[in-house]
Amino acid sequence: MKNSYLIVLAALVIAAPALSHAQVAGSTFVGSSYTELRDVAVGWSAKRQVIGHPVYNDLNERVGSIDDIIVTQDKSVSYAIINAGGFLAVAKHDVAVPVSRLKLIDDKLVLAGATKDALKAAPPFEYAN
């Protein structure tokens, strides 16, 4: 159920551009109904509750922070980009981790079994041009 919040987050990301377009006479309403807005209101905000927030392992050690969420072409949240480096841009090391591996435990994002060293040893994630 906790990962379902990230799926709701993806739906928000996908729906946002459609909500920002002006309505045209005779067009179909593309916004959210009041019922859907209730669901959105209890979902997660990428900006407020995911991006920039720390990631811990199951020993309560901070192993990184969420830098980005990847939404695939089929509109599903697939990967979280975790910065496993330090606070300086020179030490930045982004790693793509399947969202399904993240759990919400006591209001913390937890990546069980992770260590800072293991994440730093993982292949770095780089955005395609």
Running DSSP on this structure, what letter comes out for residue 100?
G
> Domain 2-121 is in which class?
mainly beta
For 50-75, give the secondary structure using H, E and C: HCCCEEECCCCCEEEEEEEEEECCCC
Rounded to two decimals, the pTM is 0.65
pLDDT (mean) for 76-89:
79
Task: Answer yes or no: is pLDDT of 19 > 50.
Answer: no
Task: Answer yes or no: is pLDDT of 28 > 50.
Answer: yes
pLDDT (mean) for 35-44:
64
Instruction: Assign 3-state DSSP to the chain and report helix, strand, coil percentages, each to 5.
Output: 35, 25, 40
Task: Answer yes or no: is pLDDT of 114 > 70.
Answer: yes
pLDDT (mean) for 107-122:
92
